[in-house]
Amino acid sequence: MLTAVLQAKVKKAQSNEMTEHVIYSRLASAAAPAHRAVLEKIAAEELRHHDFFKGLTGEGVEPNRTKALFFVFLARTLGLNFALRLLESGEDAAQDYYGELRSVSCEIDGIIRDEKDHEERLLGMIDEERLQYVSSMVLGLNDALVELTGALVGFTLALQKTRLVAIVGLITGIAASLSMASAEYLSTKHEKTSKSPLKASIYTGLTYVATVTILVLPYFIFSNIYACLSWVVLGALLIVFLFTFYISVAKNLDFKKRFLEMAGLSLTIAALNFAIGLVIRKVFGIDV
């Protein structure tokens, strides 16, 4: 017979397992055949865990449907691998929580082992096309951030007109995106890789254009150059943060190291171009 405290804890674990069973089942129903088998195995594992806890509580539970919908949405927008790895990143806390339930049954240790080992092994089997082109996306993002952030800062200080900076920045960004996409196509074509040169160039170009759009957009909206300048810096940091978080989760990499590296490089180039733009404006007496 469980105490009231243990009953509540076991019931929480039961609900968590049912929620994850629902998530994996929904993802499996919409997944490609190669992924479906993996997801169905994980779903079955979660259901078995739920049934074990149900045997202890003697009660049924409802899944957290909001959480289930959220992770299904993530999988469909940001990729299956990202959603699953983000979901599994919470398993460390779950394992600690389950550790508190060891006094309930010796089978808890088996569940902890399942959560720690079995699911990670299955998740490692999942492979998505977009992750094969991460290097192409990183190329487009890094080049856009480093080049355009610095250029916009320099243009802002030299030209002093937001609309003019926006037009010049947009032209520069689009031209650079086409150049980078072409370079990535040729580079991939001459590499010994299974990647498609066309897809690699598209990933690079689209990532570059998306970054350009986000950074240049405020110059079309606001008239205050310093507000736009602030957005360039903050926008660049936000882009680096979100992209690095995505890649770190999807590929199980160190987030802090990659974020500091990309952010530091972008801000350093921006600072240098700030100084260059200021010097050019003073030396040439530019007053637009």
* Per-domain boundaries in the chain: 4-127, 130-284
Residue position matching structure tokens 């897809």: 199
User: Given this model, what pLDDT does residue 59 score?
Assistant: 86
SS3 for 127-188 is: CCHHHHCHHHHHHHHHHHHHHHHHHHHHHHHHHCCHHHHHHHHHHHHHHHHHHHHHHHHHHH
User: How much is the pTM?
Assistant: 0.68
User: Given this model, what pLDDT does residue 262 score?
Assistant: 79
* Cα(173)–Cα(155) distance, integer angstroms: 13
Per-residue pLDDT of the chain (288 residues; tens, 9 = 90+): 667 777 788 888 888 889 989 998 998 887 778 778 888 888 888 899 889 888 888 888 889 999 999 998 988 888 777 887 788 776 656 666 666 676 677 777 777 777 766 566 666 656 666 667 777 887 788 778 777 887 887 788 777 888 998 999 999 889 989 988 898 888 888 877 778 888 889 988 998 899 899 989 999 998 888 888 888 888 888 888 988 888 888 777 788 888 888 788 777 877 777 777 677 767 766 554
Most distant CA atoms of the chain, gap in Å: 85
Report residue 133: phi and psi, to 5°. -110, 20
* Cα(58)–Cα(51) distance, integer angstroms: 10
User: Given this model, what pLDDT does residue 19 score?
Assistant: 92
User: Given this model, what pLDDT does residue 90 score?
Assistant: 66
Domain 4-127 coded CATH 1.10.520: no
User: Given this model, what pLDDT does residue 121 score?
Assistant: 61
* Cα(158)–Cα(88) distance, integer angstroms: 49
